[in-house]
Structure 1
Amino acid sequence: MVTVRALAVDFGGTLARPGPSPDGATVSQALKDLENTSVPEGFAAAFEDAAREVRQEDRASDIQSPFAEQLARAARACAAVIPDPQAATEAVFTAVPDAFVDARSAETLRRLHASGLVCVLSCNTQRPESVRRRTLRAAGIEDCFDALVLSSVLGFRKPHPRFYDTVVERAGCPAEEIVFVGDTPAKDAIGPYEHGMRAVLIASGPRPEGLPAPVGVIGHFTELPAYLESLDD
């Protein structure tokens, strides 16, 4: 009999439709009304360049630089003045919509959490924890999560081992008693599986090549309860 005590749940593409990334024009507009902040005409283009550089560097080593680093690089490039990076980050991600939570997935999550499973939100994101919590609260699922593991807070992105170590720590049980569910093979299935967790990939179409045999595949998050029940057969 398989013992499952916890779920590690990805966000965008799993529970929600991913939201947009902030572009230079949106960031520039969001910062213009902040006190003591000055963004010149060239800030939008400078931000686009800085964001591209930071993303490339982060992906090369599976780290997650603070969004404020993108703002700081853009500011240096065009002599902008951003005295409060935290307030600036909040302003940007208030202006840029977060992911839209799927109602059916939210209801499924509520049932799974009510059944006694520990649930850990486990996702790569630029957004601060306050913004992601606001999105979860609006969808009525903030209280379904016993812990949040966000790359924006942790400083490491999936599939970095430190990310999975933190998931296991926050779940409060052995890795083999955790089921990691998400929509990206390398980050949400292969990575967790190699780290000792069980994994379920959300995917449409045929089973992706190279996926370890023990990794489950479902078409939608709403199919997860039935999959978990099948583990006991």
Structure 2
Amino acid sequence: MTDVHALALDFGGTLARPGPDPDGHTVAAALRKLAGTVVPEGFAETFDAVTRRVRRTDQESGGQTPFTEQLHRAAEGCGATLPDLDAAEEAVFTAVPDAEIDPSAARTLRELHASGLVCVLACDSRRPESVRRRTLDAAGILDCFDALVLSSTLGVRKPHPAFYAAVVEAVGRPAGEILFVGDTPAKDAVAPAAYGMRSVLIADERPADLDPSIGVIRRFSELPSYLEGLHAR
């Protein structure tokens, strides 16, 4: 019988179709609706330049720069006035829709959680936890998650080891009892396995260089059958 007692689940590409990232013009339009803000014409271009630099440094360090820090740097770079960065962040991510959760994935998740599995959302995200919680709640699956592990809260991104350490801590069980599920080989399959977790990759076909111990399914709705196969081994 399998000793999988918990699931760590990626979000975009696993449970949901990825949503758009906020660009400078969208951010500027959202901020101009807030009382007390001053957003000059050059803000959009400055914000986009800051975003490119932040992505580069975050990829190199494995960190996750807070979105409020991006806003602060953009404001400093063009003379914008943003008196409340938290309110500014909320306004941006209210204006920019989050990812759309796949209904079949939501049904599968409810089934898995009802079976007694601990479920933890484990994903990279620029969005604050409040926004992601609203998205999960609107899809009727917020109560399926025992915890949310988000890079925007942690300050580190997959595949940083600290991310997987946070997953294990959130689950509250040994790493070997956790199955990590996601669609990015390096972040959602290889790195969790190296940390001691089991992993299954969502992909149309198995990558040629993927370790044979890592499972592959085509879509999240196939996960219950995959787990049943583990039970039969």
Q: Determine if the TM-score, normalized by the shorter chain, exceeds 0.5.
A: yes
Q: Which residue of 2 aligns with 1:85?
A: 85
Query: Deviations along 1:99-136, whole A, 9 cap, x unmatched?
Result: 00000000000000000000000000000000000000
Structure 2 stretches of 5 or more lacking a match? none
CA distance in 2, matches of 1:198, 1:172: 15
After superposition, where does 1:155-166 map in structure 2 within 5 Å?
A: 155-166=155-166
Cα offset for 1:2? 2.1
Query: Deviations along 1:84-107, whole A, 9 cap, x unmatched?
Result: 111100000000010000000000
Q: Which residue of 2 aligns with 1:71?
A: 71
Q: Counterpart amino acid of 2:227?
A: L
After superposition, where does 1:25-40 map in structure 2 within 5 Å?
A: 25-40=25-40
After superposition, where does 1:118-133 map in structure 2 within 5 Å?
A: 118-133=118-133
Q: Which residue of 2 aligns with 1:214?
A: 213
CA distance in 2, matches of 1:209, 1:50: 37
Q: Which residue of 2 aligns with 1:95?
A: 95
1:229 counterpart = 2:228: yes
Q: Counterpart amino acid of 2:225?
A: A
After superposition, where does 1:1-233 map in structure 2 within 5 Å?
A: 1-204=1-204, 206-233=205-232
**What secondary structure, in the 3-state scheme, does the structure 2 residue paired with 1:231 have?**
helix
**What secondary structure, in the 3-state scheme, does the structure 1 residue paired with 2:231 have?**
coil
Provide runs of 4+ in structure 1 moved above 3 Å. none
CA distance in 1, matches of 2:2, 2:140: 30
Cα offset for 1:222? 0.3
Q: TM-score, normalised by structure 1?
A: 0.98
Cα offset for 1:34? 1.0
Q: TM-score, normalised by structure 2?
A: 0.98
Cα offset for 1:157? 0.3
Between the aligned residues of both structures, percent identity stands at: 65
**How many residue pairs end up in the alignment?**
232
**What secondary structure, in the 3-state scheme, does the structure 2 residue paired with 1:76 have?**
helix
